[in-house]
Amino acid sequence: MCKGMSFWGNYNGVNETNENFVMNDKNIKEEIKMSIRERLSGNEAAAIAMKQINPDVVAAFPITPSTEIPQYFSTFVSNGQVNTEFVAVESEHSAMAATIGAEAAGARAMTATSANGLSLMWEMIYIASSLRLPIVMSLVNRAVSGPLNIHNDHSDAMGVRDSGWIMLFSENNQEAYDNLIMAHKIAESKNVKLPLMVCQDGFITSHSIENIELIEDDKVKEFVGEYSPEQYLLNKENPIAIGPLDLQAYLFEHKAQQAEAMKNAKDVILKVSEEFEKLTGRKYSFFEEYKLEDAEMGIVCMNSTAGTTKYVVDNLRQKGIKAGLLKLRVFRPFPAEEIAKALENIKAVAILDKADSLNAAGGALFEDITSAMYVNKKQIPMINYIYGIGGRDTKADDIESVYSDLEEILKTGEVKNPYRYLGLRRK
C-alpha cells in the first residue's frame, strides 16, 4: 500500500477511515471505491467474508490449517464489529451440532474445519443436509489421518462428497472469498435449502498472502440479504418438530427430495454467479475453460493446482502445443452434461485427483468425469493421476509430464494404463 493511503473498512483491525486518502483523478478514485484492494491469506479472506456476512451464529473448534478462520472471526466478535453469537465448543462434532441447532431455530449459521475435524463431524454432516439446513462451512482441505499429516490433499472433501452438501472449490484466495459471499444466497434459495461447503487448499492458499479485491460491507449485506426461513423451531405461529428419525414410510421420498434440491442448485448457482458478476465484474460458472476452445489435449483439476496448470499451458502454447485446462469449481452438484460438452472436442484428457479412492479404479473426480462422458456419449481417451497426497509438491515439471503423456496418447491413440501416480517416488 502506498504511503499516505488507507482503504475503507477495518478489514485488518487497523483503519476505520480514509482521512489520508488523496487522489486528484476523480475517475480513478471512483474505480478504486468500487472495490477494496488488500493483501490477505486465504484464511483471512474467509474470516472477512464471514465478518461481512455477519451471521447470527458461528460455532467452531480449532484444527490446523483452518484454525485461523474462527480465530480471526472471534476478534471481530470481541471488537464488536459483528453481532454474531460465537460458540466455542469442545469438538468439531459439537460445532456442527451447534450450527444445526441454530439453523433449525431460524438463525443463519456458519463454521469452519479441516480433515479430522470434518471426519468427527461426519454424523452431523449427514443430519444437516437431511434436515435441509443451509449451513455454510469453510473447509480448508487437509489430509485425513492416518497416519497423521497436517498438509493438503482432498481426502477430507472426498470423504463427504455424497453427503448432500453443495461443494464449491477455490483456486486462490480471491475465489475462496467470492465463493463464501455467494454461498448463503445459493444454499438458502427456496428451491435448494441445502448446506454448502467452500473448499480451499490448506497452507497453499489458506496461509499464503495474495492480492485480493474485497467488496464494501454495505454491498455484501445487500447482496447476501436477510435470512428469513419459512419454517423454524422458534416460529410460534407454525410449530414444528425437527429430528433425525425417518423410517421406512418416508426416508426414501425425503432422499429423493434432497436429490431434486441438488439438481435445482445448478440453476441457482448460475443465477447467483450472474448477479455476482454484475456486482464485481468477476465471472464464475460451474468450471473455468482455460484455452480449451481449440485444445487437442487437456487437464481437469480443482483448487490451487489450476494455477500451476495455467502456467504450464501458457508455456506450451508459446511452443505451439495446443494444451488446455478445465478447472472445476462446482463439484456438487456435479455438472456432468456441461463437462461432457466442454471436453467433447479434446483428443486426450487427464483427470487429476488429489485423493485416492483406494478402489483400484481411480479417484473420485476421474470416476465422475468418465461417467459423465459415457452417459453423454462422448468417448475420448482419458487417464487418471493421483497426486499431491499429504501435501507432496506438484511442480510445473510434474504438470508438463502429464501433457507429455497426453502427447504420446495423441500419437498412438492408445491408453496403456489409465490409473497412474504423479510425483510418486518408486524404488
pLDDT in tens, 45-92: 999 999 999 999 999 999 999 999 999 999 999 999 999 999 999 999
The runs of H, that is alpha helices, within 295-377 are: 305-318, 336-343, 364-375
Check if the beta carbon of residue 385 is closer than 8 Å to that of residue 351.
Answer: yes
pTM of the model: 0.92
Which residue's C-alpha cell is 451464529? 57
SS3 content of the chain, % helix, strand, coil (to 5): 40, 20, 40
What is the pLDDT at residue 175? 98
**Longest Cα–Cα distance in the chain:** 71
Check if the beta carbon of residue 84 is closer than 8 Å to that of residue 51.
Answer: no
What is the pLDDT at residue 35? 76
- Which grid coordinates are listed for 271? 443465477
Check if the beta carbon of residue 98 is closer than 8 Å to that of residue 107.
Answer: no
pLDDT in tens, 149-193: 999 999 999 999 999 999 999 999 999 999 999 999 999 999 999
Check if the beta carbon of residue 141 is closer than 8 Å to that of residue 201.
Answer: yes
Q: Residue 415: how many CB atoms within 10 A of its CB?
A: 14
Q: Which amino acid is at 18?
A: N
Asked, as a colleague might, if the bond just before 62 is cis with ω within 30 of 0, I would say: no
User: φ and ψ at 163, to 5 degrees?
Assistant: -90, 0
Give Rg (Cα) of the chain: 22
- Which grid coordinates are listed for 34? 468500487
What is the pLDDT at residue 1? 31
Relative to beta strand 209-214, strand 36-41 is: antiparallel
Which residue's C-alpha cell is 476478534? 75
Q: If you ran DSSP here, which 8-state letter would residue 389 be given?
A: G
Find the helix or strand (DSSP H, E) in which 164 lies: none
The parts of the chain modelled with pLDDT lower than 70 are 1-34, 427
